[in-house]
Structure 1
Amino acid sequence: MSKKIFFAQDWENVPSEIQQTDMPSITPLYNKVEEDVENIVREIEQRAIDITPNYKDWVELGFALVDGLGENGREYYHRISRFYPNYQREETDKQYTHCLQSKGQGITIRSFFHLANQAGISLAPFNKEHLSILPNIQNGKTGKWIKSEEELPAFPECVFDHLPSFLNEVVNNSISLDDRDTILIGAIVCLSVCFHNICGVYDERIVYPNLYLFVVADADMGKGALTLCRELVAPINRNLHELSKQLEQEYKEAMNAYIKGKKDGGMTMPTEPPMRMLVIPANSSASSFLKILGDNDGIGLLFESEGDTLSQTLKSDYGNYSDVLRKAFHHELVSLSRRKDREYCEVSNPRVSVALAGTPEQVRKLIPDAENGLMSRFCFYIIRFKRGIRNVFATNDISQSKNAMFKLLGDKFCHLHEEFVRQGNYSFSLPSDLQEHFIEYLSRVNEECCDEVDNKMQGVVRRMGLIAYRIMMVLTVVRQLGNGYDVQTSQDGIIRLVCHESDYRVAMSICDTLLYHAVFIYRNLSRNQSKQTASILQETGVAARRNTLYNMLPETFTKKDYDAAILALGENGSTAAKWIEAFIRSGKLCRIEQGKYKKIF
């Protein structure tokens, strides 16, 4: 099978390494890049290896060469691609033209070096004069996943070319690329709570489509687009409220009849009706949250446009249900007991989705450190800062407002959803070839993230795999709403849905992007944790802080090593330099040579 051609999304006009260079001219840098690319391509040709066996890597290679060499990269693209067994020159030429005409979000020439290094080609001989062009280096290996906020990628264009029709209608109401991304992932998360009658088996456990999302942005930078997604499920929520009111009225009438007939005897006291709702307020007590979940068969969407509403609730004694959210992500039994009023709540199969928006500081309040279990359960999408003012008078017609359009979409989804639920229960599965690709991809990404960041990233990658599987479920169901698939009913009456390759590719592309954002959040939270540790150390006195620095240093170390230790502790560089001199005077250290030290035990 030949490699397919998809479009990738627009990229920034000028590569970040070019923007940041202090060089008076970029021509020498481009000449150096082409020289290094030529040397590496020659080695690829000598070894006759395919450095892009996966489609995604092949597309990324095209954008990397466009970034570094422009039209000059076309022939290199052919020279590298021809080692793919089904290489076709015309198809490869067409793909490179697409790369030139589009712009690739977050893909720079660094990706070429990364792919070559990943295929076993050493980067040591190359680009010694202009190291900024190389990928980040962590633990001796290339750093593909570590991005600055400005480099964080958006969803690639191929995602929007292959969406189910209903989601296409939803994202077509966006007014910018960030707006489109936010609406897409927000819609997927909000809709995920509605498909409680479909499940699949992942890692030998039954799972449902529910997802957790946090859209992160500075004030008034577009995270408000998430609130529009709530309109997609508002009619379902409203119908449940109406049912609750009806049941409440029936309960009151039955209670009045019971009170009147109590003297006569023989009447049974009516049972209080359940409180039916889909969207649960974040500002709820723990017992109220569980009670509502129980009344709704464990189904609920926690939606809040200000993330600190939830974080403040979780910090209170009455509202600390952080553990409930962690367990609910995996559909584990959640329970609560209170001595007062002998209160006990239990939900055996929670299917909870969460959609939050907030500032970076609100993320830290909700998830104070990288080791907090909530971090790896959330999808994070960061809206980057962009200077400028939108045309706020683009329409004066209320019927054409985003609110009105999303209400119409909500009514449409409610109708489609009713039919979907009426059909019965569904099972979801991946074809065996996609399963193999999924495991291969996840294994490779896990190795990369553990090497480039740290081993604790494995938990994030593993859960991102589960998140990808759940997104596939949502896409498959939404496509089924439009009768896009032929379905099979098993002997037990369960309707089998099998993921189509296009939905698999879209889900994997979305999660690939989300993983970049998750790494960014993880590293920020880790730095925050280091600062908190340093603050605690400072409170224990100068001697304790000095000893902590000394114990962190290896037996033999360089100034680079001790600078890294100082940074991790959050200490002042000049103060720490005085401590090093003090260690030498006291006989705890000796200077082997300039900038190199050895401990004396």
Structure 2
Amino acid sequence: MKKREFKISFFLHVWEKKAEEISLEEFHNDLRGARWKVLAESYRRWMRTGMTEEGKRLKGALNAVVVAGKCRGGHAANQVTELNGLALFDFDHCLEMLAGMKEKAGALPYVVGAFVSISGEGLKLIVRIDAENAGQYAVAYPVVARELERVLGHPCDMSCRDLGRACYASYDPEAYYNPGAGVFPWREQVDGLLQAEGECSEPSVGKACPAGVAPEAGDGFMQAFLNDFDARNPFVAGGRHAFVLKLGRVARYKGFSPEEMRLLQKAVVEKYAQADFGSGEIEKTLSSGYQYVSARRADAMTTDLGPKVQGPFYGMPEEEEEEDLEDILFGKSEGFRRSAPYFPDEVFEHLPALLAEGVRVAGSPRERDMLLAAMIVNISACLPEVRLLYDQMYYSPHLYYMVIAHAGGGKGVVGLAGMLPAEIHKFYEKQNDEVRLVYDKAFFEWELEQKKAQAEKRSPDFALRPREPLRKLLMLSPNVSKSLIISALEESGKLGCCINATELDMVSGAIRNECGKHDDVFRAAFQHEVVSADFKVNGRQVVARHPRLALCLAGTPNQLVRFIPSLENGLYSRFLIYTGQSAWEWRSAAPRAGCEDHRAVFARLSARLLELHQFLLQSPTEVTFTPGQWAEHTLRFASHLSEVVNERDDSPGAIVLRHGLMASRIACVLTALRKGECAWAMPEYACSDEDFHTAMLMTDVLLEHSLLLSTCMQKSESKPKPLKPYFRLRPVLQVLSGTFTFTQVVDKAVEMGIPKTTAKRLFRKTVELKLVVKEGDVYRKTTRSWGAGIP
């Protein structure tokens, strides 16, 4: 048989919308080679040892292919535009039979390829079926599957019959490949099989059936489906509703059509109806299960994610397999993190010298961004007597910042920034020790005076009683209790405090303790609002009237929802947020000639920051902005706020409002560093246009990150939801230029996956907010950027 070159669709990840065309031979060479070896072996080892969460994340990052043909976009069935005559067949949970099944498959004349699946416990077969359209493919697939089951002695996963079925990359050094394989004679067998099974009528062979689903499922198939489900999930008294509800969910997971659901309802009623569990109740419960999964999957279906990649015989999903779509969505979340915008290079071209020297140690652009923001936040806690007037209220530069990424995402670099306040902290600790020594001596004299007065039978001279000194602490432990943090804020006064934590659990653990619960202190301190507490020992009320606090934290998505359980909490909007995932690339750990130890670099920078701190103590500074800068600030954040409010009625507008203040605080930090560089002791120091622009560019990106991460927050559950793009209408308007009509907007929105009614509602709101203006019969965007400056 003459060898044929087959072309298949390659996806970087299962949620990718852009497919690359590669040859089947190239795919098999990679299966045998080292490309996916480490990932596949790691996944198999982790799943064997119970590290399922790590395994799922790794699996979501794997490459995938669609074997059936060429995809124009995602791997949904309707995206397969050109068939190549191949079909993928999957045999799960056959570890003990795997070698024998693979040998039998290699002997079949129509098998083009055979290889071990990513789990290491299943077998994937690629067969030539020579189907000319989706209808023929749908008819041919069960015929071929039944013959393979007979030959191999193991059930085939029929959920793989979908044209767009994605197959994860794997590793099999002994993968079988026969490009000269013949065509399976399915047309010769179809008549007898269909008459026996009742799966499809003969005329449907030439019709275009929906991909992966025969036009009419007969009683034979439905009874087999129901019997298999019953074997796995016994129908028992007390669990009837749960049984039927799960059956509906399983039917939806496997893509049953309305006609197939009608047949399933009929079969369930005939088999399970009872006097107190009639047909009406069965049909209602079955429909509820079907619709529940439909709603849960709505986002995935509208973005053409397609069906799940794995599934057991006749669609009997086990518990872990019901999470496959969620795995895909969480994998898509990682895609959003990877594609989250970076700070523009322009930001790094004109930084103050201290910042420019610090960010040089970063090993990647993502780490550089994380480190720059962390340095600014730590420095914000080290600028005494610096203030700015914002909305007719004075604020210090103190900022809150949080980096959210999975383990190994590069967020550990923010720990270096936490070294910056160290020398200043030592400076005040030394002062504390000196003052304490003076106090101890005075207290000793006071005790002597008391004893002497008692001996002389007179009152002691209370003028000699010393007042216990205040202890100034710049750096606080992340697990500090609520009463101690209020006490530290009171005693530190205008100096303020700083908390660094490379693991959010350090802070959230203290918050959840009985002695903690101080997230309200964090919220109040952000805007210098009064916080207070009563000490039980002496009854004294501790009051921090103008608390100043800086927070620099890092953690994982799961740690985030334990720290801030809800957007309604108000703490989330007070943070500058950066989320991202660095590329999984090994970086050499070998010493680099001429490079200084990173900790030594930041120890030196900490000493320079102490010099700046002491200078500012002697030169109080009010940072000012020009009228032009205030005009730009107003225009920019008014535009941001309109966009956010336009997208969602329950939009977190507070995020935008507080980013306006935080942008000014970033500019304030940059300006204070400039003042220190030139050592000009002026009471007012104007922010340069250069530094103001840098602060605005950084805030634009940080706002995008915050809005993106806000989509995974929910009210009370401890597990975050998958990320999804925050903006819906903005991408539509970004691709339209000049003038456009209402119909063009709606059509473009529908093309980009937005429901028609939603598109109309959002656009009308856009016009109301004057983000778009109407000129006669056409519309035109205003001068607002619609995110054009975001990379």
What TM-score bracket applies, with the shorter chain setting the length? 0.5 to 0.7
Within 1, Cα distance between the matches of 2:336 and 2:518? 33
Within 2, Cα distance between the matches of 1:455 and 1:437? 27
Equivalent residue number for residue 54 of structure 1: none
**Are the equivalent residues in 2 in contact too, given 1:379–1:514 (CA < 8 A)?**
yes
| Pairing of 1:270-289 with structure 2 (within 5 A) | 270-289=466-485
Equivalent residue number for residue 556 of structure 2: 359
1:391 deviation in Å? 1.4
1:189 deviation in Å? 0.1
**Are the equivalent residues in 2 in contact too, given 1:166–1:482 (CA < 8 A)?**
no
**Does 1:216 pair with 2:404?**
yes
Equivalent residue number for residue 610 of structure 2: 414
Within 2, Cα distance between the matches of 1:277 and 1:531? 36
Within 2, Cα distance between the matches of 1:441 and 1:15? 36
Aligned letter for 1:248? Answer: R
Within 1, Cα distance between the matches of 2:366 and 2:375? 14
Within 2, Cα distance between the matches of 1:270 and 1:222? 50
Q: Summarize the Cα distance change of 1:311–1:530 in structure 2 as closer, same or farther, 3 Å threshold.
A: closer
**Does 1:225 pair with 2:413?**
yes
Within 2, Cα distance between the matches of 1:249 and 1:216? 43
Aligned letter for 1:476? Answer: T
1:340 deviation in Å? 5.5
Equivalent residue number for residue 402 of structure 1: 598
Q: Which of the residues 485, 488, 491 maps onto 1:295?
A: 491
1:452 deviation in Å? 2.5
Within 2, Cα distance between the matches of 1:339 and 1:463? 36
- Partner of 2:361, secondary structure, is coil
Equivalent residue number for residue 669 of structure 2: 474
Structure 1 window deviating more from structure 2 (458-467 vs 316-325): it is 316-325
Aligned letter for 1:286? Answer: K
Aligned letter for 2:524? Answer: K
**Are the equivalent residues in 1 in contact too, given 2:535–2:541 (CA < 8 A)?**
yes
Equivalent residue number for residue 651 of structure 2: 456
| Pairing of 1:231-270 with structure 2 (within 5 A) | 231-264=419-452, 265-266=460-461, 268-270=464-466
Within 1, Cα distance between the matches of 2:470 and 2:358? 33
Q: Summarize the Cα distance change of 1:307–1:530 in structure 2 as closer, same or farther, 3 Å threshold.
A: closer
- Partner of 1:355, secondary structure, is strand
Q: Which of the residues 147, 157, 173 maps onto 2:361?
A: 173
Within 2, Cα distance between the matches of 1:17 and 1:506? 37
Equivalent residue number for residue 427 of structure 1: 622
| Pairing of 1:102-251 with structure 2 (within 5 A) | 148-251=336-439
Aligned letter for 1:384? Answer: Q
- Partner of 1:427, secondary structure, is strand
| Pairing of 1:64-79 with structure 2 (within 5 A) | none
Aligned letter for 2:545? Answer: S
Paired positions, count:
401
> Higher relative CO (CA 8 A, sep ≥ 6), structure 1 or 2?
1
Within 1, Cα distance between the matches of 2:339 and 2:438? 58
Aligned letter for 1:426? Answer: T
Aligned letter for 1:464? Answer: H
1:417 deviation in Å? 2.2
**Are the equivalent residues in 2 in contact too, given 1:196–1:351 (CA < 8 A)?**
no
1:15 deviation in Å? 11
Runs of 4+, deviation exceeding 6 Å: 14-18, 25-29, 530-533
- Partner of 1:256, secondary structure, is helix
- Partner of 2:498, secondary structure, is strand
1:480 deviation in Å? 1.3
Q: Which of the residues 297, 303, 313 maps onto 2:510?
A: 313
Structure 1 window deviating more from structure 2 (293-302 vs 332-341): it is 332-341
Q: Summarize the Cα distance change of 1:180–1:296 in structure 2 as closer, same or farther, 3 Å threshold.
A: same
Within 1, Cα distance between the matches of 2:14 and 2:660? 31
**Are the equivalent residues in 2 in contact too, given 1:189–1:212 (CA < 8 A)?**
yes
TM-score (normalised: structure 1): 0.62
Q: Summarize the Cα distance change of 1:271–1:329 in structure 2 as closer, same or farther, 3 Å threshold.
A: same
Equivalent residue number for residue 349 of structure 1: 546
Within 1, Cα distance between the matches of 2:15 and 2:577? 28
**Are the equivalent residues in 2 in contact too, given 1:231–1:407 (CA < 8 A)?**
yes
**Does 1:375 pair with 2:559?**
no
1:19 deviation in Å? 5.2
**Are the equivalent residues in 2 in contact too, given 1:476–1:499 (CA < 8 A)?**
yes
Within 2, Cα distance between the matches of 1:209 and 1:416? 15
Within 2, Cα distance between the matches of 1:17 and 1:150? 15
Equivalent residue number for residue 519 of structure 1: 707
Q: Summarize the Cα distance change of 1:458–1:15 in structure 2 as closer, same or farther, 3 Å threshold.
A: farther
Q: Summarize the Cα distance change of 1:263–1:232 in structure 2 as closer, same or farther, 3 Å threshold.
A: same
Equivalent residue number for residue 65 of structure 1: none
Within 1, Cα distance between the matches of 2:715 and 2:335? 15
Q: Summarize the Cα distance change of 1:530–1:523 in structure 2 as closer, same or farther, 3 Å threshold.
A: farther
TM-score (normalised: structure 2): 0.48
1:24 deviation in Å? 4.0
Bigger radius of gyration: 2
Q: Which of the residues 590, 594, 599 maps onto 1:393?
A: 590
Q: Summarize the Cα distance change of 1:147–1:217 in structure 2 as closer, same or farther, 3 Å threshold.
A: closer
Aligned letter for 1:222? Answer: G
Gaps of 5+ in 2: 1-10, 23-69, 74-301, 305-333, 453-459, 722-753, 759-791
Gaps of 5+ in 1: 1-13, 30-130, 134-145, 490-494, 534-559, 565-601
1:198 deviation in Å? 1.6
Equivalent residue number for residue 65 of structure 2: none
**Are the equivalent residues in 1 in contact too, given 2:475–2:497 (CA < 8 A)?**
yes
Q: Summarize the Cα distance change of 1:147–1:503 in structure 2 as closer, same or farther, 3 Å threshold.
A: farther
- Percent identity, please: 26
Within 1, Cα distance between the matches of 2:587 and 2:389? 45
Q: CA RMSD for the aligned pairs?
A: 3.1
1:403 deviation in Å? 0.5
Within 2, Cα distance between the matches of 1:454 and 1:529? 22
- Partner of 2:561, secondary structure, is helix
1:343 deviation in Å? 3.8
Within 2, Cα distance between the matches of 1:197 and 1:17? 54
Within 2, Cα distance between the matches of 1:462 and 1:158? 25
1:276 deviation in Å? 1.8
- Partner of 2:550, secondary structure, is strand
- Partner of 2:517, secondary structure, is coil
Deviation per CA, 1:575-599: give whole Å up to 9, x if none: xxxxxxxxxxxxxxxxxxxxxxxxx
1:289 deviation in Å? 0.9
